[in-house]
Amino acid sequence: MKWEVVIGLETHAQLSTVSKIFSGAATAFGAAPNTQACGVDIALPGVLPVLNTGAVERAIRFGLAVGAKINSPSIFARKNYFYPDLPKGYQISQYERPIVEGGTITMQVGDTEKTVRLTRAHLEEDAGKSLHEDFQGRTGIDLNRAGTPLLEIVSEPDMRSAEEAVAYAKMLHTLVRWIDVCDGNMQEGSFRCDANVSVRPAGSTPLGTRREIKNLNSFRFLQQAIEYEVRWQINELEDGRAIQQATVLFNPDTGETRLMRTKEDAHDYRYFPDPDLLPLEVTAERLEAVRAAMPELPQAMRTRFVQEYRLAEYDALLLTASKETATFFEETTRVTVAASKVALAMDGQEPVESGVAKLVANWINGDIASRLNAEAIELRNIPITPGQLAKMLSRILDQKINNKQAKVVLEAMWSGEHDGDADKIIAALGLEQISDSGEIEKIVDQVLAANAQQVADFRAGKEKAFNSLVGQVMKASRGKANPQQVNDILRRKLAP
């Protein structure tokens, strides 16, 4: 039998407010236990929650970014359960009326575009943390995280493979950082996913029974956990056992999922509207104010890059992987165009922007991306500025240096040599390209005289001999000769 995999994701994005969702305590990560928990967070009797408008604004921004409906009013509800890290005995969340309803996330999966529908996104508070490691035979409770604002983003069960789930989670991760609602730091738990997984016979409509894998805080774990879970469920079903709805945990050390609890249903939580919080109204003016302040979104920017700069779809996709990358690209292009306009116009390469943009895209998606990758740093920590890169690229466009020499210049700029100034580096390392045709001709003549055999080979029809001669001229010029001119001059001299 063939099985179809069905996945829905619940993602908790920690909203990037300075203070908590219902109190003034700080949300900063890493403070000593219980130093950032005030009376509201530790549930002293008589305290009252006060809603943080910054959290509301971020939720609205997210809703607008995914094309969702912003509900007004939305309602805060109490989700009742007992746990040592939840001193109130309930978590404030939203239940029947979340602030964000509907919307979609569209992402690239391999060569195809896929759209996942969102069910909702609601505001809620995080719980505290139980610390098991530092206490022999006891458990410590740290309430610093209690009351941290979260946006829980719930998808429809629209994904059909671990690969799609990861692509969805990555797109969501890009988006929340792009619109500045979440720092996306997965190690610190600012962005974590619960994956609901079921399987059903291929071609059948009813959903299979799902198991929910809790708290996956890396894309790799998300992938591994789903793959393991799918194999496990298919195995169970093929052995004739039914799947029980359950919550499971993924163990990264073994790569397996393990039962945590058989699943409770919503009615177990005895949800009811929180009498301490008014229904949350979002006025039309407020909605408009948030809309007006929205940045251009990745999808729109991608389309614009293709149209405005005539970039290939794939280049545009890579350049819009983060807002930092997109900004770095546009800034570098702008400065390079300004510096190279005259030279390019004289060369008749029109339009100027698209020629330059392609060059900039090639460097950012090529040498720079591999360099960042090798050093495991993000673009925001790159040691060169768009202005410095633009200067180096202008020298390629001026034909002062060729691509090979440019790589050497980039290397030096990266290590901060000569203030990262391309011109100083070119001068100091003697990298200037030789574009004087008389000088190149002299070298060509020497190489031809010294390689009579290869000249004969070429004349006898061996095209390979030509490349070898180009190589020798380049070598004789210590890599400095303008490769296009070397080609042209050699062709001319070897012509019958």
Binding-site string for ligand ADP from residue 253 to residue 282, where x marks contact by CB under 6 A and - marks none: -------------x----------------
Contact characters 193-232, ligand ADP, x per CB under 6 A: ---xxx--------xx-x-x--------------------
By rule CB under 6 A, what string of x and - marks binding of each residue 133-172 to ligand ADP? ---------------------xxxx---------------
Which partner, Mg ion, ligand ADP, none, binds residue 331 by CB below 5 to 8 Å per kind? none
Asked if 444 is part of the footprint of ligand ADP (rule: CB under 6 A), the reply reads no
**Phi, psi values for residue 191, rounded to 5°:** -150, 110
- Return the one option of ligand ADP, Mg ion, none that residue 8 interacts with (CB less than 5 to 8 A, by type): ligand ADP
With contacts defined by CB under 6 A, name the span among 5-13, 25-33, 169-177, 428-436 that binds ligand ADP: 5-13
Nearer to ligand ADP, 221 or 458 (CB): 221
Candidates 3-11, 181-189, 248-256, 387-395; binding stretch for ligand ADP (CB under 6 A): 3-11
Rounded to the nearest 5°, which phi and psi values hold at 76?
A: -85, 135
Q: Give the closest residue to 123 by CA, choosing from 191, 193, 55, 26.
A: 55
- Partner whose footprint covers residue 156, from Mg ion, ligand ADP, none (CB < 5 to 8 Å by kind): ligand ADP
| Size of residue set near ligand ADP by CB under 6 A | 17
Cα separation, 13 vs 449, whole angstroms: 70
Q: What is the number of the residue whose Cβ is closest to Mg ion?
A: 10
User: From the CB of 289, what's the least distance to ligand ADP, in Å?
Assistant: 31
What's the min distance (Å) between Cβ of 263 and Mg ion?
Answer: 9
- The region of 8-16, 131-139, 174-182, 426-434 touching ligand ADP under the rule CB under 6 A is 8-16
Nearest approach in angstroms of CB 245 to ligand ADP is 9
Cβ-based nearer residue to Mg ion, 10 or 432: 10
Q: Which does 9 bind (CB under 5 to 8 A by kind): Mg ion, ligand ADP, none?
A: ligand ADP
Minimum CB separation of residue 41 from ligand ADP in Å reads: 24
List, in sequence order, every residue forming a beta bridge with 200; answer none if it has no partner: 4
For Mg ion, what does the binding mask look like between residues 3 and 42, x meaning CB under 5 A? -------x--------------------------------
* Residue 207 touches which of ligand ADP, Mg ion, none (Cβ within 5-8 Å per kind): ligand ADP
Round to whole Å and give the CA distance between 469 and 458: 9
**Measured from the CB of residue 208, what is the shortest distance to ligand ADP in angstroms?**
6
Gap between the Cα atoms of 65 and 100, Å rounded:
11
- Given 3, 4, 10, 186, the residue binding ligand ADP (CB under 6 A): 10
Residue 81 makes CB contacts below 8 A (sequence gap 6+) with: 89, 90, 91, 268, 269
Q: Which residues pair with 125 in a beta bridge?
A: 149
- Which of the listed partners (ligand ADP, Mg ion, none) does 154 bind, with a CB threshold of 5 to 8 Å by partner kind? ligand ADP
d(CA 156, CA 64): 18
User: C-beta of 243: minimal distance to Mg ion in Å?
Assistant: 16
Asked whether the CA dihedral 390, 395, 399, 405 is positive or negative, the reply is: negative
Which residue has the closest beta carbon to ligand ADP?
8
Nearest residue (CB) to ligand ADP, 155 versus 190: 155
Question: By C-beta, is 266 or 346 nearer to ligand ADP?
Answer: 266
In the complex, least distance from residue 199 CB atom to ligand ADP, rounded to whole angstroms:
8
The minimum distance between CB 38 and ligand ADP, in angstroms, equals: 29
Which CB, 58 or 210, lies closer to ligand ADP?
Answer: 210
Stretch that binds ligand ADP, among 1-9, 47-55, 308-316, 328-336 (CB under 6 A): 1-9
Characterize the bridge pairing of strands 246-251 and 211-216. Answer: parallel
Task: Name the CA dihedral angle for 391, 387, 406, 324, rounded to a multiple of 10 degrees.
Answer: -150
* Closer residue to ligand ADP, CB minimum distance, 9 or 141: 9
Interface residues toward Mg ion, by CB under 5 A: 10
Give the footprint of ligand ADP on this chain (CB under 6 A).
6-10, 154-157, 196-198, 207-208, 210, 212, 266
